[in-house]
Structure 1
Amino acid sequence: MNSQAIATPEVTIVVSPRERFSYTSESLESIYEHTEYPFKLIYVDGGSPRHIKDYLAKQAEQKQFQLIRTDYYLAPNHARNIGLQQVTSKYVVFIDNDVVVTPGWLKPLVECAEETGATVVSPLICQHLPLHTEVHCAGGESGVAVETKGETTRRRIIEKIYKQGRKVADVLPQLQRQETGLAEFHCMMVRTEIFQQIGLLDEKLLNTKEHVDFCILVAQAGGTVYLEPASLMTYVPGVQLELTDIPYYMLRWSDAWEIESLQRLREKWDITEDQYFKNKYNRLGWRRHMTIIKPLSRKLLIGKINSRLANKILGSVDKVVNRFVTNRYAQKHLPSVMQKQNIKQGESVGAN
């Protein structure tokens, strides 16, 4: 590393599992191919199948990054905290293991933070294939709105994502660096010192709304969130899962984890259980339905009537299997996980 690189702000990239493992190589290789700005990398591997485990071990040896492996699956914030506790640099970049970056993506994030003093910087995040063509998140809003009518006070969660579903070619010319209210953990850069104020990420938020919670905490601590559209990447959800992805996907998007996460969000921020939450409860398991049940139904039977019947039967089976997967994980791993969480409660992370 040359003297100029040493003088630049330090950045550590923490890669963690999102919902599957089968896009690991595409994502990791994009980081090393398209990142010219100096960085350290910590890869948190939460129970990946053997071929991914072996691939990551080989890559860690070749590229000299830190690989942390558990033999059980990890909830997202738990995985991020494992990596975060190893970070000693000025900035940490959280990035999911299904994200593909574009050339030069990291430098604009650092420049934005250095020039604005931002606590959190979000790139322009895209979604789906083909890469870098459709917007997923161009900033947004988060917070808690307090509404009082007479003697009744309601507290509702604010979550709004800007430009989702729009074409990048249409949106990008209109975007500029700006303060915003929302960043997502698909990819965000964070000034590490903020964790001295807010503590580690909330591991009781098992699978949803952890980005909203984090952005609210940052705002409460006096921090700022910026969008930097000069940095661009795409997260690629698994349209077709590999067989080895399914157990983690089932747990990651389990009904139990989502219910527990929503309840944690409500209790933590004293949120009224309004239509927002009722809609979430009514749609439990929709990701599993779209990604596992519907494709399987199409393979098994042909025709609208048979397809509806297959969806109904498979949906019932899914609920049973999902409860089994969640309960089995809880019995095998949650006691030790919760013990570690209790030990870590109140800990903070600081930059050297």
Structure 2
Amino acid sequence: MPTVTIGFFPREQFSLAAESLQRIFDYTHIPFNLIMINCNTPEVYWQQIEQVLAGRSNVKVIYKDYYLMPNQSRNLVIQESNPNDDFLCFIENDVLVEEDWLSYLIQACEEHPADVAIPRIIEGGLGATKIHWDPNLGQVHSVQTTDGIKLEILPATGDQQLDQGSHRRKLELSGEVHCQLYRRSVFDRVMPFDDVVYLDWIDSSMALYNSNIPVVFEPKSVIHFWHPFPPERDNLDYFFKRWDIQQAAKELDEIQKKWNLAQMTADLYFVEERNRIGHLYELREELKAVISADKPFILVDEDCLNGNKIIEGFQTIPFTECNGHYWGIPTDDNMAIQEFERLHQTGVYAIVFFWTAFWWLEYFTGFHDYLRQKFPYLLKNDYVIVFELG
């Protein structure tokens, strides 16, 4: 039977780590060793983790009193693992595995054969169905540019798409790095985990591609990638270090040059989005300062904050609304205005546009003009736009 070590480490926060770790022990039915990276984990979460690890002999804990980024943790796992292992599996601490996930990955490597195996990744908690992957990472072609021959990464098409089909297949680019299985021998040929923070999935994909490392996608192996929204307050220091905008902007240029790419398939939007999420607690305080708990308001957020602690205690009405629930995007300006007026007649105090719905104000220009002409701004920043209706 192949020997395998699982490396377990944080990605952007710590609050899901104990649950994630418990599922690894519950749903992995082959022998394995575990290397647990504790890099300045807040005490409350480390105590939860210790309860999961208690009495287990197949665990090695590596402690650092400072934060490590995911690739730093991956390289530490390689360094600290048994050099005679057949496989190393890297898994981040906000991943929830399903039954026999690891057995399927090893089987795929052995039977395909391949040196790296990638599971099917579901975005969200247990019960979710949305596939999480980067559709921009399909194939690599050489192209002639004014600066000479460069590489171009093309989007996935047809059977390359990970949201289609149920059969394992070869991948030209490995893609998402939330959970990956490697043959130990790969690291004799290439080190795919450079000192990269934001663009780790693109950098490692190109490193494997450049070294002709065969990669297989195994849809039978299912994991869930879940990031709580927003992170707990005691996770924010690590969260903001992980999503440093200046570091990300620097990497966009560095990775493009490193791999001689004609253009990048990523931009700063995702990092900017993560930073907005990290500031949601501040947004809550700003809303509390201008809208008291006894004043109902219309919330335009495409249902992003439904049930979220950020709006707990507020009286929110979704827009559009039917029987108290979010009904969807208006068909046109007239529908938006009519729906707004219907809700306005109920005595709501304000209408709040969350940043996920800012595009409504650009697309429904008639609706936007209608609001601006009739109502003053109560609050306007990068996170919300609030019109006072009273």
Segments of structure 2 that go 5 or more residues without pairing to the other structure are 292-349, 353-376, 386-390
The residue matched to 1:124 in structure 2 has which SS? strand
**Counterpart of 2:200 in structure 1: which amino acid?**
E
Aligned residue for 1:103, secondary structure, equals: coil
Q: Does 1:297 align with 2:283?
A: yes
For 2:193, the equivalent position in structure 1 comes to 201
Shift of 1:298: 4.2
Measured in 1, the distance between the counterparts of 2:157 and 2:47 equals 39
* Residue of 118, 121, 127 corresponding to 2:117: 121
Q: Cα offset for 1:85? A: 1.0
Instruction: Work out which of the two has the higher radius of gyration on C-alpha atoms and give 1 or 2.
Output: 2
Where does residue 177 of structure 1 map in the other structure?
168
SS for the counterpart of 2:227 is coil
Output the TM-score relative to the length of structure 2.
0.68
Are the equivalent residues in 2 in contact too, given 1:60–1:67 (CA < 8 A)?
no
- Letter in structure 1 aligned against 2:275: R
Helix, strand or coil at the partner of 2:380: helix
129-138 vs 214-223, which moves further: 129-138
**What is the match of residue 47 of structure 1?**
40
User: Which letter does structure 2 place at the counterpart of 1:308?
Assistant: K
Change (3 A) 1:209 1:309: closer
Structure 1 residues 35 and 139, CA, compared in 2 at 3 Å: closer, same or farther? Answer: farther
Matched, 1:210 2:203: no
| Paired residue total | 293
Closer, same or farther: CA 112–284 of 1 in aligned 2, 3 Å: closer
Q: Deviations over 1:185-242 (max 9, x none)?
A: 1111011111111136202x1x222222222222222211111011101010121211
Q: Which amino acid aligns with 1:69?
A: Y
Show the counterpart of 1:323.
none
Higher relative contact order (CA 8 A, sep 6+): 1
Alpha-carbon distance between aligned partners in 1 of 2:257 and 2:152, rounded to the nearest angstrom: 12
| Percent identity for Structure 1 against Structure 2 | 25
Q: Is the contact made by 1:122 and 1:187 (CA closer than 8 Å) also made in structure 2?
A: yes
- Give 1:86's aligned residue: 80
Query: Match of 1:270?
Result: 260
Per the alignment, residue 96 of structure 2 pairs with 100
| Counterpart check, 1:237 vs 2:227 | yes
Write the letter of the residue equivalent to 2:223.
Answer: M
- Mapping 1:21-100, distance limit 5 Å: 21-64=14-57, 65-88=59-82, 89-100=85-96
Kindly indicate whether the alpha-carbon contact (under 8 Å) linking 1:146 and 1:153 is maintained by their aligned counterparts in 2.
Answer: no
Structure-2 change in CA distance of 1:132 and 1:42 (3 Å): farther
Range 262-271 or range 90-99, more displaced? 262-271
Tell whether the 8 Å contact from 2:193 to 2:204 is kept in structure 1 after alignment.
Answer: yes
**From 2, 11, 14, the counterpart of 2:4:** 11
Shift of 1:54: 3.0
Structure-1 separation of matches of 2:135 and 2:102 = 17
- CA RMSD, 1 decimal: 2.9
**Separation (CA, whole Å) in 2 of partners of 1:157 and 1:308:** 40
CA distance in 2, matches of 1:106, 1:139: 24
Q: Against the structure 1 CA distance between its residues 111 and 156, is the aligned structure 2 distance closer, same or farther, given a 3 Å change threshold?
A: same
Amino acid in structure 1 at the alignment position of 2:104: P
C-alpha displacement at 1:176, in angstroms?
Answer: 0.6
**Distance verdict in 2 for CA 1:85–1:159, change over 3 Å:** farther
Match of 2:179 among 180, 187, 209: 187
How far 1:51 sits from its partner (Å)? Answer: 1.4
Q: Distance in 2 between matches of 1:126 and 1:236?
A: 8
What SS class does the counterpart of residue 238 from structure 1 fall into? coil
Shift of 1:56: 3.0
Which structure features the higher share of helix residues? 1
Cα distance, 1:271 vs. partner?
A: 3.2
Instruction: List gaps (5 residues or longer) in structure 1.
Output: 1-7, 314-352
Aligned with 2:144 (options 144, 148, 173): 148
Q: Secondary structure at the match of 2:34?
A: strand
> When the two structures are superposed, what TM-score results if normalisation uses the length of structure 1?
0.74
- Aligned to 2:67, the other structure's residue is in SS state coil
Query: Are the equivalent residues in 2 in contact too, given 1:298–1:307 (CA < 8 A)?
Result: no
Q: Is the 8 A contact 1:140 1:162 kept in 2?
A: no
Cα separation, 2, equivalents of 1:104 and 1:243 = 34
Q: Is the 8 A contact 2:151 2:259 kept in 1?
A: no
Cα distance change, pair 310–136 in 1 and its aligned pair in 2 (3 A): closer
Q: In 2, distance between residues paired with 1:36 and 1:258?
A: 38
Shift of 1:144: 5.0
192 and 142 in structure 1: CA distance in 2 versus 1, 3 angstrom threshold: farther
